[in-house]
Amino acid sequence: MQFPKLVKPLKFYAVVPTADWVGRMVKAGADTVQLRNKELSGDALYREIERCVAACRGSDTQLFINDHWEMAVKAGAYGVHLGQEDMDTADLAAIEAAGLRLGLSTHSVSELDRALSVNPSYAASGAIFPTTTKQMPTAPQGLDNLRQYVQQAGDTPVVAIGGIDLDNAREVLATGAASLAVVRAVTEAADPEAAVKAFQALWDE
């Protein structure tokens, strides 16, 4: 199995809950955006995914859909992001055949090994710091573990996620992580668009 490589680096990666937020991130010029919607289902969710695909069409923003791989394939999204448990149930061959990029969540050396075995487009590692956006199955990984994961992943880009903000972002990038994924640092920012620019400036330092 070999999922497509990324067209361009993931860099700043905004994880947001609605198509409206995806649209805002595209307008702000975010490198990558993920729709992580836990409220909708069925046709309403599919319409939301279609809106996200439309918002990103013609832009430089790379769109990943969290969990709902069948709808992502049908809507023509750029990629899918799956958790470890989804690897047991998702049809990875169908995702690969449709040409979508695949990102996989990992929380340990063994989970990263498992993810790397299917040659994903990227691996996400976290939570790096304590986070309140979701219940984590493991303790915060910390920067030392992240540094090890980056080495372990080799040529596969590593996305760091979990409790990342502008105060600790430089430390995280110093581990060699290819991308910073954030949730609250954008959705709870006083000026989300300015937050995007501030994060992106870190790659130019």
- Tell me the domain boundaries of the chain: 12-203
pLDDT at 185: 97
Q: Which of 8, 57, 74, 134 is catalytic?
A: 134
d(Cα 104, Cα 82) in Å, to the nearest integer?
Answer: 5
What does the pLDDT look like over 37-73, one tens digit per residue? 999 999 999 999 999 999 999 999 999 999 999 999 9
Does the annotation list 163 as a binding residue?
yes
Let me know if 101 is a catalytic residue.
Answer: no
Residue 145 labelled as part of a binding site: no
Phi first, then psi: what are they for 50, rounded to 5°? -60, -40
CA dihedral 89, 94, 160, 175 (to 10 degrees): 120
Active site residue 134: yes
CATH architecture assigned to 12-203: Alpha-Beta Barrel (3.20)
Q: What is the pTM of this model?
A: 0.96
The C-alpha atoms of residue 75 and residue 45 are separated, in whole angstroms, by 11
CA distance 91 to 109: 24
The active-site residue, picked from 11, 24, 105, 121, is 105
Task: Examine the pLDDT at 133 and tell me if it is beyond 70.
Answer: no
Counted residue by residue, the chain has a size of 205
100 annotated as ligand-binding: no
Burial 43-76 (b: 16+ CB within 10 A, else e): eebbebbbbbbebbeeeebbbbbbbbbbbbbebe
The residue whose two tokens read 């937050």 is 195
Residue 169 has pLDDT above 80, yes or no: yes
> In sequence order, which residues have a C-beta less than 8 Å from that of residue 184 and are 6 or more positions away?
131, 132, 133, 165
> Is position 114 annotated as part of the catalytic site?
no
Phi, psi values for residue 13, rounded to 5°: -125, 105
What six digits make up the tokens of 162? 């979990």
Please state the rounded mean pLDDT for residues 6-18: 97
Annotated ligand binding at 156? The verdict is no
Between β-strands 32-35 and 62-66, what pairing exists: parallel, antiparallel or unpaired?
parallel
Check pLDDT > 90 for residue 139.
Answer: no
